[in-house]
Amino acid sequence: MTETRIDRRFAALKREGRAGLVTFVTGGDPDYETSLELLKGLPGAGADVIELGMPFSDPMADGPAIQAASQRALKGGQDMHKTLAMVRAFREDDEDTPIVLMGYYNPIFVFGVDTFLKEAVAAGVDGLIVVDVPPEEDEELCLPAMQAGLNFIRLATPTTDERRLPKVLANTSGFVYYVSIAGITGTGAPDAAKVQAHIGRIKAKTDLPVAVGFGIKTPEQAKALSEGAEAVVVGSALVKTIEENLDENGRAAAGTRDQVLKLVGSLSAALRQPEKAVAI
């Protein structure tokens, strides 16, 4: 594969000597216009890579917050055409920030794999995370995506053992997404020491950057879990902030976008802080 925006962004982070912030929001949540405004505001608030969720009616790996976000988006009429349109609109002003579409295979299958890949590349998508397509099915989506020039990003979990890990890594590119807790998104709190041990195990098998996600809600957690990783991923906390800033009719309030970007800013600031010098 030729160098992608994701490759360039992680190379830049390495030069800066810091971990990056990967932010997740669901396309079309709570409505198309607000979601697009939020998407466009994320880089300025400190997001280094953006994961844009493809809404799906049965997101089995996601917790209540992201499930609710998918339902709000679908209720508002979001579909794959609109999600790709959001990426095209984003690219009118930003040619550098990587965008990864994240979700499930069903909406891609219904859209048509070949058509989806062609339109995703044309829109300016850089990578895919499709959580329910295992390595055994790489010919279905992973290999065609890579041939189209997209990074295909795999998830490794606390239960990915030494036998399974090479299969997970075989056709992965861009970065490895390490799921810091066993279970669904937005539940539980990760143990930093255990996470660092698992990251070390992954790094022994690959030179790819590792991004840590699931359960990260605060700047303090982001900073702690960034040790040994190239990035941290925050999703449920952002989606929950959207939900908490809707009016009584479930519509975006005046400050919805700003409250989400405020949280992104605090997470980014924590990752950009230099380590405190230790007196000897």
Active-site pick, 29, 31, 48, 62: 62
Task: Classify strands 155-156 and 176-179 as parallel, antiparallel or unpaired.
Answer: parallel
Give the Cα separation of 7 and 209 in Å (integer). 9
Active-site pick, 51, 119, 126, 230: 51
Q: Which are the contacts of 10, defined by CB distance < 8 A and separation ≥ 6?
A: 20, 175, 209, 230, 231
Contact between 210 and 176 (Cβ < 8 Å): yes
51 belongs to the catalytic site:
yes
62 belongs to the catalytic site:
yes
Give the Cα separation of 128 and 136 in Å (integer). 17
Indicate if the alpha-carbon torsion angle 219, 221, 224, 225 is positive or negative: negative
3-state secondary structure of 133: coil
Catalytic residues: 51, 62
